[in-house]
Amino acid sequence: MEIIGYLASLVIGVSLGLIGGGGSILTVPVLVYLFGVDPVLATAYSLFIVGSTSLVGTMPKYKGGEVNLKTAIIFGIPSIIAVYLTRAFIVPAIPAHVFSIGDFQVSKALLMMILFAILMVFASVSMIRDKKKEAADEPAGEQKFNYPMILLEGAVVGVLTGLVGAGGGFLIIPALVLFSKLPMKQAVGTSLLIIAAKSLIGFTGDLGKQTMDWTLLLSVTALAIVGIFLGNRLSKKVSADSLKKGFGWFVLVMGIYIIVKELFFPGGGGH
């Protein structure tokens, strides 16, 4: 299983390099099901892996002028604060046993996985739907910021990132296109920078609270980083749109699988 896990770590990076997001949605299931990591700890590991990989992926995009720093700061600040507070205070405050319906017990780990799977389903729908063309065809006029919406969306994405450990690129990219009027390519580059900053700072909210397996964490991160370079190479040869759709369907199937497995066949997989 671990060998499959390491291969899957490469895929996380490749998908980030190819479509600027989506990879983070695989990190938690890979850690939980293939490496047997506890789901709550997996969300912390995911922040570090996604943050480091996105940071490396941002560099070539920044050199290519595809990162809008002003937007990254306006969107990133509420997002970073929200992630840190969520990891430092909200996640530890969730009780180990949340509630029960009849004989069905809802534990903290189960709640995290179900929340995550629901997010995967939403993410997959946004990848499958073909809204990219409309956004890309918009003339890049003068950049106007819808400040209240950007700040609100930044905070919401931050809380979600903190809870489930996903970068939330699929939430950030449409928000940047809609509220900051960024062209698609700039939205992807800027989103990677925001994801890197908020994931790594969010991860510091877990330090000292959990015992980290640094060997596992650093090896998965290293493979994901190799993957992002492969993804960047491949992105020049493959149509991003068809890839995004294919990946979207894959994430949808994974999301449904997790919901069914956790609700009807609990046990195993890090629980």
Q: Rounded to an integer, what distance in angstroms lies between the CA atom of residue 83 and that of residue 160?
A: 8
Q: Is the pTM of this model over 0.85?
A: no
How far is Cα 118 from Cα 133, in angstroms, rounded to an integer? 26
Distances from the Cα of 100 to the Cαs of 106, 164, 259, 263, in angstroms? 6, 21, 17, 13
pLDDT at position 115, please?
Answer: 84
Pick from 221, 164, 238: which is nearest to 35 by CA? Answer: 221
> Half-sphere exposure of residue 159, counting CA atoms within 13 Å on the CB side?
7
Residue stretches of the chain with pLDDT short of 50 = 132-139, 269-271
What pLDDT does residue 167 have?
64
pLDDT digits (tens, 9 = 90+) for 166-175: 767 777 877 7
Q: Which two tokens stand for residue 56?
A: 């490396």
Query: What pLDDT does 23 receive?
Result: 65
Residue for token digits 């003339």?
139
Please give the Cα distance from 184 to 255 (Å, whole number): 26
- Write the DSSP assignment of 194-216 as a string of letters: HHHHHHHHHHHTTBTTB---HHH
Q: What is the pLDDT of residue 135?
A: 47
Q: How buried is 174 (Cβ within 10 angstroms: 0-12 exposed, 13-18 middle, 19+ buried)?
A: middle
Residue 141 has a pLDDT of 54
Domain boundaries, the chain: 2-264
Reduced to 3 states, what is the DSSP secondary structure of residue 47? helix
Count CA atoms within 13 Å of residue 222 on its CB side. 6
E strand intervals along the chain: 97-101, 104-107
DSSP 180-193: S---HHHHHHHHHH
- Return the bridge partners of 104, or none: 101
Structure confidence at residue 192 (pLDDT): 87
State which amino acid sits at residue 99: F
Give the closest residue to 192 by CA, choosing from 43, 9, 18: 18
